[in-house]
Amino acid sequence: MPKQTEKYKLTVKDYLKLFAVLAFVGGLIFFALKAAGTPIPTPTDTQVWDTLTANGYTPIDQTEQYVKDNPTMGIERNITCITDGLRAEVFVFEEVGVAMAAYNKITAHIGLSLIHI
């Protein structure tokens, strides 16, 4: 006859430990999802201008030139900063859809430029 093993009975202490572990894991998951879903505030064009100036850069407002060259792009503001061969531009568009279309156009152009290198 096979030897019978003794069954282990869960005690209140075991249930409390299990609850504590599950609560801890649940809390970690909750805070991770909460942090991932929190949007990062977008700086205004004035904040960008002030930050560049405060850090010793000379921003240039080229809005008129961009609107003149691209009247249908929906550009509200352009801030350009050129220093040591690096050019950084910040655009403010009328709406999100226009901004996404411009982003897609620019990234496609960059991708084509990289292919030809």
Average pLDDT of each block of 10 consecutive residues along the chain (117 residues)?
A: 70 92 95 84 90 92 88 87 86 88 82 60
Question: Distance (Å, rounded) from C-alpha 26 to C-alpha 42?
Answer: 31
State the pLDDT at residue 61.
92
Distance CA 47, CA 39 (A): 18
What does the pLDDT read at residue 113?
Answer: 61
Q: Which two tokens stand for residue 79?
A: 């801030």
Cα distances (angstroms) measured from residue 92 to each of 41, 57, 116: 15, 19, 30
What are 76's two structure tokens?
């509200």
Which pTM was predicted? 0.56
Query: At 80, which amino acid appears?
Result: T
Residue 101 has what pLDDT?
Answer: 87
| pLDDT at residue 53, rounded to an integer | 93
